[in-house]
Structure 1
């Protein structure tokens, strides 16, 4: 942290390797030159405020003192040990000394792990809401991708913190999740202006996580407005897909993200009743050059043709 003697500002990887760090963001030059994953930089801590409340023991002492000495003890002097439920400081809190968050490296790992546990509907502790939106294999990719870009890490941290808040019925944690979500959106904007980050595999996953956050924690009471928020992420996803050629999704993580994520785009196109870009032959064939299609992939191919059918029906009407 800045101003703390002896505390290195280097990235997590360079501190672990005890190497010099050039402090470049989002990944340092040392890690990039050596072809290793940069662990990123510790973000600021989230400070907690506590409101003092009286205890029974102290209240009795105060009453006895009043009877004997007819003295008045101020609440600030009498009560100092017991605290009420905490309140998280938002980045704009007047008592804050900067933009604090839960996003320290260790806490990030714990929150993301909690998100994966609640994501899995086979887990006894799984959230019913998360089970409803389960996607096979997606969580396995996220466990390795979230350390690669800050935008994805904040997105996962936001939804993980919000889910923890709902599980514990703690509105402060849900509020903190929304704060992190806002920060993640800003970081996503920064990533899209950086050509290197914009073409990373991690960025491809961000719109889906943000769309999931809107579905679970959207604050708009008007369901139409809420749906538009989700659709904006779906539009962002198709824009990111088509910014690359179909050949970009032939193999590896990019292939898995594309084949699992195209459902979001197709659903958006069905709602818009406009022909889907993903129904074009190159997008239905080239990404599977090295991998045979599963029954689910074939189903998605058929689903991709529905928006065009709906569009033709509208033209005939």
Structure 2
């Protein structure tokens, strides 16, 4: 495990921006000469963020993983595939008028020492960034378990985490030799998994779930088998069901529950089948320990999402209802009522979110982003894009919009038209009952710039794969070339962030069942 000894004690915002926080802050004076200025690290929020007029995310109160790839670069190393450019100090508009930044150095492609530590820390720093939540130290516990596994090659956690870490590093650095090495670890993990599934004690260990999540993400990265990730998600569902909700009330099992539920639900959405997570015990028991846990906004969204796979199956059953069978109208009324209730719950969630997190969004020009701090994206077809005060609000609103699209279309297929507010000027972002499905899909697309900004690293790219696939299916009109732009964005998700499943030619395979939901033959 990469520890935190000697880690900067600066606030999370300044560290993410790669600027000094507190003592020895480097500033630009009016004379354009640089000087060192000593300031105190104010608590709970730093003075630098306050002076720059940006939100400070506070200080890390628990162990944090560190990406060591840059620390391992050696002068004159023969392992570098490309010459190392001379760093230049540039002024960043997004970091305030008096802040300068030094661009990060390139990563080595063939590390000569401690390569597994490098691969693992790279994975944690680039992808599993949600362990950094300062409000919940437990959120880091299952991520921590990734790097606490035994070095014994016969242990499942060793093989699965090494397979993902090695292949992810290889994919993001275009290293074919390392990709083959990752495939070797993956083969070892599959064989070990088959053996351990026969052990009644090992099946109930938390590490089993973590290992399968890693193996599913390996398939998302490599895409060797188009349905490999789905098979792992189904396996997660079976194991989780057998474990029961009481095993997820604390520790690693509780901290990984949001990730676990999202994986399982995605699998059931693709299959269009009722999910066991829709039952009341799975929506309540893990959070029943009074005073210890409370549901977060994303947890409440997942509760609504838990019901949707069942709605899709019910709609399929209505479409295939035998001509001589009675009771169709009664069943249809029941389906309509349940879908409508879920949509109303989603609207209530959105209003509550608006009340609890006012001013969490604002709009900016896509051409106004600082090129020194943002990743290059395909030319935007939008005049403005939606920005957020932090990544938690961004993930929540993106998920909300994807759920809204699926629920709205489900209600339409049941024979009811959702009520739309008769307003000529809608809010930005849209409030409940504002806008059509096409408008909601456009709103998802307008969040891409934020999610793919460099400070999100690759976690934002991972977050938007499913919502963008859903949005793509609901773009009924394309007068502004939004679909080609979206396809280019998905290629970037594959090439830059490593998720091969997101590539444009792979999109139809992943959304075949949802496509029939959005564009059925009878339409």
Query: TM-score with structure 2 length normalisation?
Result: 0.35
2:256 and 2:304 map into 1 onto residues whose CA distance is 19
Which residue is equivalent to 2:310?
A: 308
| 167 and 138 in structure 1: CA distance in 2 versus 1, 3 angstrom threshold | farther
Q: Distance between the aligned counterparts of 1:121 and 1:247, measured in 2?
A: 27
Partner SS for 1:195: coil
Q: Distance in 2 between matches of 1:205 and 1:243?
A: 16
Deviation at 1:195, TM superposition (A): 2.6
Corresponding position: 1:299 with 2:301: yes
Determine if the alignment matches structure 1 residue 203 to structure 2 residue 205.
Answer: no
191-200 or 171-180, larger mean C-alpha shift? 191-200
Aligned residue in 1 for 2:240: 241
For residues 9-158 of structure 1, the aligned pairs below 5 Å read 107-120=115-128, 141-148=142-149, 150-158=155-163
Report the counterpart of residue 224 of structure 2 in structure 1. Answer: 219
CA distance in 2 between partners of 1:119 and 1:159 (Å): 11
8 A contact 1:146–1:202 mirrored in 2:
no
Q: Once superposed, what is the RMSD of the aligned Cα atoms?
A: 2.8
Counterpart-to-counterpart distance in 2, 1:315 and 1:265: 22
Alpha-carbon distance between aligned partners in 2 of 1:312 and 1:276, rounded to the nearest angstrom: 12
Aligned pair in 2 of structure 1 residues 117, 183: CA closer, same or farther (>3 Å)? same
What runs of 5+ residues in structure 1 fail to find an aligned partner?
1-86, 88-101, 123-135, 221-225
Tell me what 1:230 maps to. 229
- Structure number with the higher helix fraction is 1
For 2:128 and 2:241, locate their aligned partners in 1 and report how far apart those are by CA, in whole Å. Answer: 30
User: How many matched pairs?
Assistant: 197
**Counterpart secondary structure, 1:275:** coil
Q: Closer, same or farther in 2 for the Cα pair 1:268/1:192, shift >3 Å? A: same
Distance 2:241 2:258 in 1: 14
Q: Is the 8 A contact 2:142 2:210 kept in 1?
A: no
Distance 1:245 1:198 in 2: 12
Deviation of 1:252 (Å): 1.3
8 Å CA contact retained: 1:269, 1:276? yes
Deviation at 1:167, TM superposition (A): 3.6
Indicate yes or no: 2:189 matched with 1:184: yes
**Contact kept in structure 2, 1:204 and 1:257, CA below 8 Å:** no
Counterpart of 1:274 in 2: which secondary structure? Answer: coil
* Aligned equivalents of 2:266, 2:170: Cα separation in 1: 29
Residue 228 (structure 2) pairs with residue 257 (structure 1): no
Match of residue 34 from structure 1:
none
Q: Distance in 2 between matches of 1:274 and 1:265?
A: 11
Name the CA distance, whole Å, in 2 between partners of 1:278 and 1:156: 27
Structure 2: gaps spanning 5 or more residues: 1-109, 131-136, 320-523
- Contact preservation (8 Å) 2:156, 2:211: yes
Contact 1:147 1:153 in 2 (8 A): no
The one-character-per-residue Cα deviations of 1:119-164 (angstroms, maximum 9, x if unpaired) are 1569xxxxxxxxxxxxx98765232354346212211111211122
Deviation of the 1:117 alpha carbon? 2.0
Residues 1:114 and 1:139: Cα distance change in structure 2 (over 3 Å): farther
CA distance in 2, matches of 1:216, 1:244: 28
In the aligned structure 2, how far is the partner of 1:120 from the partner of 1:314?
36
